[in-house]
Amino acid sequence: MLCYAVSLGLISYDQAYEIQRRIHARRLRREVPDVVLLLEHYPVVTIGKSGSIENLLVSLEDLRRAHVSLFFTDRGGDVTYHGPGQLVFYPILDLREHGKDLRMYVYRLEEVFIETLKDFSIDAKRHDSHRGVFVDSRQIVAIGIAIKRWITMHGAAFNVKIDPGAFSIINPCGLKGLEAASLEGVLGRPVQIDSVKGRILRHFSSLFRLSIEEKSLSEVL
Q: Give the residue from 172, 95, 94 showing the smallest Cα distance to 133.
A: 172
Which entry of 109, 173, 180, 196 is annotated as an active-site residue?
Answer: 173
Q: Is 173 a catalytic residue?
A: yes
DSSP string, the chain: -EEEEEEEEEE-HHHHHHHHHHHHHHHHTTSS-EEEEEEEE-SEEEE-TT--GGGB-S-HHHHHHTT-EEEE-SSSSSEEEE-TTEEEEEEE-BGGGTTS-HHHHHHHHHHHHHHHHHTTT---B--SSSSSEEETTEEEEEEEEEEETTEEEEEEEEESS--GGGGGGB-GGG-TTPPB--HHHHHTS---HHHHHHHHHHHHHHHHT-EEEE--HHHH-
Active-site residues, by number, are 173
